Amino acid sequence: MKHSHGKHEGKEDQLRQIVEAAVAHALENQIPSLQARIVQQVLESLPAPTGDSAQTESNAANSSALVQAVSGIHAGSTQKEILRALLAAGSGYCARIALFVVKAGAATGWQSRGFADEDPVKDFALDLTAGPVANTYENRISTPGNIAEMGGAFVERFGRPANEQVLLLPLTLKDKVAAIVYCDGGEMGKLDSDALELLVMTTSAWLEVTSLRKHATREESAPGRLESAPPVQSVSSFSDPFATHAPRHISPRVAEPEHAAEVVEVAAHASAAAAPAAATDPHAALSAEDAEIHRKAQRFARLLVDEIKLYNQAKVAEGRRNKDLYDRLKEDIEKSRGTFQKRYGNTAAGGGDYFQQELLRSLAEDDVSVMGANFRR
């Protein structure tokens, strides 16, 4: 029995070796084709590949489009042109875009692009106290949200974008929200939040630049024009883009008059208007004529420093961080200082040193150390 059992095991081992050899030979012949099929299936499951050159060309095209959009905004010489350029440029990065003006405690539609009918937008009021609108208005930041958060009246009037997503952006002027920009992706879901935020920031900055130029021209006659700024349009060309916009739901007594000052000017003086009424006038002891000269000198110094900040935002941020602000902006500071001295150095305000005060207050944010060791005090 034992001999018979051993003989059986020997045959089984021999058979196993034969099968293993046959399988190994079969696999050896099939592995290359099997490997090729696996690779093909994996490739088919991946997104279509793009070469480096194709990606570079795509990035270049996107950058070029943004540059053209910003150039279109900068080409505007009046506030209406600038704001319309924003809407036109923004419509390239979302399906629907609308600008709602903040006036008299309410946000009402001004103009839009991409909506089936612009008339409802022009008279629609946003609720400034709830949802992403409130966050954008109160915190002055861009806020993504869901269309449902815009309220039932908004959804009923304008419908829903396909992906339900919306974006609210603040158009700020002198740290005040002058308008709120609404964007959504419409039926296609197209919504480039980064590009839209850049365009709105560009618009805010350019509106302030045009305002600075206008103020310099209006406050001082042609012989004393702000030398650091290029030639400007006449004051009359900077009419309020929202002056004739008086929504029906706002009382006529609350709405601004037809020839109200432009939105930039209102925002520019908002901080001054918010000052305590009981504050003492530092020029009260002077004659009316001298007091007015001092006030003009202060305003002119503020305009000069604001212009430095607007044109050199990156340098200002780096200078404050590295505490070498004066070294980075020396040429602009000294050129503007010379402009101020030429205008007011030999007047009653000459000893006020208002330009230096404004540099420290606004540019250095009351921290003289950020100006650096080379700043003359």
pLDDT digits (tens, 9 = 90+) for 230-260: 333 333 333 445 555 555 444 333 333 333 3
Of the given ranges (112-116, 122-126, 169-173, 270-274), which has the lowest mean pLDDT?
A: 270-274
For range 24-37, the mean pLDDT: 57
Q: Taking residues 4-14, report their average pLDDT.
A: 63
Please give the pLDDT value at position 246.
54
Q: What is the pLDDT of residue 269?
A: 40
**Token pair listed for 203:** 């618009």
The confidence score (pLDDT) of residue 104 equals 79
* Eight-class DSSP state of 222: G
- Max intra-chain CA distance, the chain: 135
Amino acid at 304: L
Residue 30 above 60 pLDDT?
Answer: no
Run of H or E including 125: strand 125-126
Q: Is the pLDDT of residue 77 over 60?
A: yes
pLDDT of 86-114, one tens digit each? 999 999 999 999 999 998 788 999 999 99
**Backbone φ and ψ of 372, nearest 5°:** 95, 170
Q: How many CB atoms lie within 10 A of CB 309?
A: 16
The count of other CB atoms within 10 Å of the CB of residue 316 is: 20
Judge whether 358 and 302 are in contact, CB under 8 Å: yes
Contact by Cβ (8 Å): 162, 186 = yes
Could you give the CA distance from residue 203 to residue 169 in angstroms, rounded to a whole number? 12
Place of tokens 């030979």: 25
The pLDDT confidence band at residue 209, using thresholds 50, 70 and 90, is confident
Which tokens in the block code for residue 60?
């270049």
Which pLDDT belongs to residue 237? 35
What are the sequence ranges of the domains in the chain? Answer: 65-215, 282-377
Q: Which residues contact 55 (CB under 8 A, 6 or more apart)?
A: none
Of 129, 66, 72, 74, nearest to 102 by C-alpha is: 129
| 65-215 fold | Beta-Lactamase (3.30.450)
Q: Where are the alpha helices (DSSP H) in 190-312?
A: 193-219, 263-268, 270-273, 288-311
Can you tell me the mean pLDDT for 187-198? 90
What distance in Å separates the CA atoms of residue 12 and residue 326, rounded to the nearest whole number?
93
- Secondary structure (3-state) at 372: coil
Segment of 96-100, 152-156, 289-293 carrying the highest mean pLDDT:
96-100
Tokens 């990035």 belong to: 59
Long-range Cβ contact pairs of 153-161 (< 8 A, separation 24 or more): 154/124, 154/126, 157/120, 157/124, 158/96, 158/115, 158/120, 158/121, 161/95, 161/96, 161/185, 161/186, 161/187, 161/189, 161/191
Rounded CA Rg of the chain: 33
For the cut 70, the answer to whether the pLDDT of residue 55 exceeds it is no
> How much is the pLDDT for 95?
94
Q: Let me know: does 360 contact 354? Beta carbons within 8 Å.
A: no
In this prediction, residues 25-40 reach a mean pLDDT of 55
pLDDT computed for residue 236 by the predictor: 33
* pTM of full prediction above 0.75: no
